[in-house]
Structure 1
Amino acid sequence: MDEAGRDAISLHELVLENGRSASPFVWRIRYALAHKGLAFESRPVGFTGIPKLFGGRFKTVPILQHGDMILSESWKIAAYLDRAFPERPLFSHPAEHAMVQLMDAWFSAEILRRMVRIYVLDIHNATRPEDRAYFRSSREQRLGGLALEEVAADRETRLPALREALGPLRAQLAQHPFLGGEAPNYADYIALGAFHWVASCSTLPLLAGTDSALRGWLERGFDLYGGFGRDPRMRPLFE
C-alpha cells in the first residue's frame, strides 16, 4: 500500500439526537468501507453543522477525508474508494457499475421518495433540537409548502403502496440471499442504507410481520462485517 493508502480515513456523517448515524447515503459508504475492510474515524455532525465544515464547501454528507483528498456525494466516494483501494472492489466490472446505477435511479424514484413522505415528521422529531427549525423550513419548502404534519397525516393509507413498490427486491431475494447474488454488492448497500434511515427514526413499522423475504435479507445485511449494522437504538421495521 502506498503512502496515501496509509492515511487515516474520516467520515463526516449525519447523526440524530440519540447519536445514531441516520443518512441513507452515509450508510452506503459505511458499508462500502466495511466491504473493503477499511477502518475509519466517525465525525458526527447535525444538519446545521454541515455548512460549517470545510468552509461551507459541501451541502450534504457523507463527506470523506483521506489524506489531502476531501470529497462528498456517495457515488463519487465509492468511485474514489475503488481507485484508492482496488482490493475487494465495490464494482467488479463497468457493467456492474452501470446496472447498480440503474437500480439506484429506480430505488430513489420509487422507494426513497415514498419513504420521505411517510417518515419526514419522524425524522424531524428525531433530529437534534438545534436542527429542527432548519429541517422543518427546508423540508416544508421542498414539499410544496405543506406542513410536515400535513404530509404525515394520512401516511398509514400510503404505506401499502410503499410495501408493494418493494416487490422487485423481494423477487430478487426469492432467488438469492443478497441483491448482488450470493454475496452483497453496492446495490445491497444502497437499499440497506434506506432501511437503516427508517429504523433510526420510525414510529410506524415499515414492513408487514409476514414479509419473510425482506426480513431474512435485512437480518443478513445487519449481520454483515461483524454485525456492524446492529444497534440497540434501531426502531422496529416490522409490525
Structure 2
Amino acid sequence: MTRKLYALCGTDRTRPFSPHVWKTKLSLAHKGLGFDVAPIGFTEIPKLEQGATKIVPLLRDGEKLVSDSFDIALYLEEAYPERPTLFSGEGGKAMARFVEGWSQMTLHPAIGRIAIMDIHDSLEPVDRAYFRRSREERFGRPLETVAEAGKTDLETFSAKLEPLRHMLKFQPFIGGERPLFADYIVFGALQWARIVSPHRLLATGDVVSGWFERCLDLHDGLGRSVTAA
C-alpha cells in the first residue's frame, strides 16, 4: 500500500518546509512506514482530495485520510501499535501536548517573524500573493514591517530555548534515551527555520544544537535530505 503525504513547498518542490509536515515525515519514518511526498503550494491546499482539508500535512493511508500532524501521530499509533511507539503511553501524549503548545506559542511566532520574507520569496507568484494578503491580514501590517520586528526575535531566540536546554542536560532526547513525537514537534519548528532562512538560530556547541544534529541524523538522515538554506 502506498501512502501519500501532501507537503507544503515553494518554487523548489524538492524542499518541503512546513514544520507540521516535518513532524509527520519523522513520525512515519519512526514507525518504519513508507510514503510518497506530494509537493503542493499554499493555494493548492483547498483542492486536495476533493476539499478534504484546509491545512497540511494531509496523509492518505489507503482509504484513510488524516490531517493535522498531532492527529496523524495519534492515528499512526493506533493503526500500527506493533511498530515503535511515538508516545510511550498516555504520559507521552500529555507531554507532547505540552511541548506542542510551547513550540507553537513560543517558537513558531518568532520563527515566523524572523523568516517571513524568506518564506515569501521562496514561493510561486500565485502563492506569494496569497501569503502576503493572508499574513498582512493576520499581523495587521506589511510583511516588511513584520520582518523588521523579526530582527529582535533573532537576537532573543536563544533564550526561548532555555527549557529545552535545561532538559537536555539530563537526557539525549525530549523522549528520554530515544526520540518520541515530542522531539519531532520541536524539530519541525527548527527544521522549518533551517530550510527557509539563512539565519542561524542555534549556536555551535549549544546542547540544543547537539540535540538538533542528532535529530537530523535520525531515520537514515531523513532531516538532512533537504539542505539548509
Determine if the TM-score, normalized by the shorter chain, exceeds 0.5: yes
- CA distance in structure 2 between the partners assigned to 1:158 and 1:14 by the alignment: 24
- Corresponding residue number in structure 2 for 1:3: none
Q: How many residues align?
A: 227
Query: What is the match of residue 220 of structure 1?
Result: 214
Name the residue aligned to 1:62. Answer: 57
The letter of the residue matching 1:196 is: Q
Q: Distance in 2 between matches of 1:111 and 1:102?
A: 13
Match of 1:122 in 2: 118
Distance in 2 (CA, whole Å) between partners of 1:65 and 1:123 is 26
Q: Which secondary structure does the structure 1 equivalent of 2:223 belong to?
A: coil
Runs of 4+ in 1 over 3 A off after TM superposition: none
Residue of structure 2 equivalent to 1:184: 179
* Alpha-carbon shift at residue 232 of structure 1 (Å): 5.4
Q: How far apart, in 2, do the equivalents of 1:157 and 1:10 lie?
A: 39
What CA deviation, in whole Å up to 9, does each residue of 1:155-207 have, x standing for no partner? 22222322101111111112111111111111110011111111111132223
Q: Tell me the TM-score normalized by structure 1.
A: 0.90
Partner of residue 133 from structure 2, selected from 129, 134, 137: 137
Instruction: Please give the secondary structure, in 1, of the residue aligned with 2:4.
Output: strand
Higher mean alpha-carbon deviation, 96-105 vs 225-234, is at 225-234
Which digits, 9 at most, give the CA deviation of each residue in 1:29-81, with x for residues without a partner?
00000101100011111111111112222111000001111121111111111
Q: Secondary structure at the match of 2:59?
A: strand
Matched letter for residue 151 of structure 1: V
Matched, 1:234 2:228: yes
Partner of residue 17 from structure 1, selected from 7, 11, 15: 11
**In structure 2, what residue type is equivalent to 1:201?**
V
Report percent identity of matched pairs: 42
Say whether 1:170 aligns with 2:165. yes
SS at match of 1:229: helix
Q: For 2:42 and 2:176, how far apart are their aligned partners in 1? A: 35
> Any gaps of 5 or more consecutive residues in structure 2?
none
C-alpha separation in 1, matches of 2:102 and 2:74: 20
Find the residue that maps to 1:13 and give its secondary structure: strand
SS at match of 1:90: coil
Of residues 146, 166, 171, the one that matches 1:151 is 146
Q: Which residue of 2 aligns with 1:98?
A: 94
